[in-house]
A and B are shown apart, each in its own frame.
Chain A
């Protein structure tokens, strides 16, 4: 009886610790600035959607959302294709000088280095290529980061699939690449999905490079646009909260939808 009570109390406490901040964000986004600063209410007494409308009519949130979707889609898609091929080559072929293992370790090393370390030179590169404040600049950067991650993760998925199946396909007359495309790739699909989901999350949330590489709503992504809003009008708490809700909503929805894959992606490799 006592352990049961303790369990319920702990569960409630944990849920409250996680959900209360979220509640405050959503509830603030439904209040007017007057209600927020002068009345300090604990819940919206006069709920309003004005803050959301203002974001899209006055603050170009539509562009931020479009930019985020375009940039995320292309950088993840390209990284998945290039990453799957690279991972397969590393997992299945033996190259001179054990190159396949060195390439794997090299990509892992790049993955470990904090992104800030590469920030300045990437900025200088995009500056010299004239790619600042453009979709292409962001897509190129995110694709490269995603590839290091995709190769590293997919390699383990490919290793888990028995070679015999490909062999059988090749005996039946399939080419080496054909066996990869028709046999191994579909079998690794759940693993590839987990990788893709994780890449989408990280890319959609990225802020540092978006901050340095973009300057106008032409290319600013959602997190970047949200931060701009905060810098410009510091006391517009209502808009800030609404921006927070819109910035979080798509990705939280997406994550909850695919949470089983997500947990797999997050914990994979860590426990092996």
Chain B
């Protein structure tokens, strides 16, 4: 309400050019966004209802591309791999990040160093992160093999084995993004009120009771936000997989983004790929908005 009266005052105050000011200020940004993001998005929607075939004219196929997705075994497989990847990575990151944040809540010597070092994985270019892990996993030149040989063992196979490659990808993601989880959760912990904890200490509550009855319930909204942010991002993971495995061996690490990219740029099925990406976009948006709704309900109760 306060904002409304203020704004009215401003409009009365302004005259001539000032009336147009908000529009003039919004225009440059909106024009760029409309031209480079919104128009292409709309164009993508159009493209998703068409079939592009090399050497023959583009034909309108309605929703056929969308329907085809659900009988495409490769799409369903890629979707399943993505869901497994996201669920595993984000769970590990949440648990590790929360534990680390609780651990770092007290000030002690070395915590600054720890925080500084923890920033590195998430700012290093994802492509470089993938290179780092290739250099760790490689069976001939990798760190794991070097260590194993130094201990008297043999070469270690990671990227050549489907299960190992998938686990290797999850490990990469956990290495790269646990720090973000940690930072968000630490900030959350630091902003909790002190009184309930002091009261609990006076009552003689044990560490576990304090965590289960106070810390965790109070941290739930922050934890939820952190998990949602990571989940949305993890769904779009592309760079690391593209460089680390390109989706292989076989289809073991072929996430939905890799499958979509190959469909568009390797197999030139532009319309079908557009339909795939629109579907993924809708899934992620639905995810995000239901999470926001859920959070509001938690806040209200």
On A, residues with C-beta under 8 Å from B are 7-8, 10-11, 14-15, 17-22, 24-25, 28, 36-37, 40-42, 78-79, 81-83, 85-86, 88-90, 92-95, 100, 103, 107, 109-110, 112-125, 140-141, 143-145, 147-148, 151, 163, 170, 175-177, 201, 204-205, 207-208, 211-212, 222-223, 226-227, 230, 237, 240-241, 243-244, 247-248, 251-252, 255-256, 259, 262-263, 266-267, 270-271
Contacts and interface: CB of A to CB of B under 8 A. Distances in A.
Interface string B98-142: 001001000010100111111111011111100111111010110
B29 A86 contact: yes
A266 B33 CA distance: 23
B31 to A, nearest CB: 9
A118 B183 contact: no
A193 to B, nearest CB: 16
A254 to B, nearest CB: 8
A125 B119 CA distance: 36
B265 interface: yes
Contacts of A208: 238-239
A184 to B, nearest CB: 12
Q: By CB atoms of chain B within 10 A, which of A40, A78, A140 has the most? A: A40
A251 B124 CA distance: 7
Interface stretch (B59-67, B161-169, B194-202, B228-236): B228-236
B26 interface: yes
A107 B33 contact: yes
Contacts of B44: 117-118, 120-121
B25 A86 contact: yes
A76 B3 CA distance: 31
B22 interface: yes
Q: By CB atoms of chain A within 10 A, which of B113, B127, B222, B261 has the most? A: B127
B257 A114 contact: yes
B250 interface: no
Interface of B: 3-4, 6-8, 10-11, 13-14, 18, 21-23, 25-26, 28-30, 32-33, 35-44, 47, 100, 103, 108, 110, 113-121, 123-128, 131-136, 138, 140-141, 143, 145-147, 149-150, 175, 179-180, 183-184, 187-188, 191, 222, 225-226, 229, 232, 235-236, 238-239, 242-243, 257, 260-261, 264-265, 270, 273-274, 277-278, 280-281, 284-285, 288
A222 to B, nearest CB: 7
B28 A82 contact: yes
A265 B280 CA distance: 27
16 contacts: A8-B110, A25-B131, A41-B146, A94-B4, A95-B22, A95-B23, A114-B236, A114-B281, A116-B238, A120-B44, A122-B40, A124-B40, A227-B127, A227-B243, A244-B128, A259-B119
Contacts of A86: 25-26, 28-30
Contacts of A88: 25
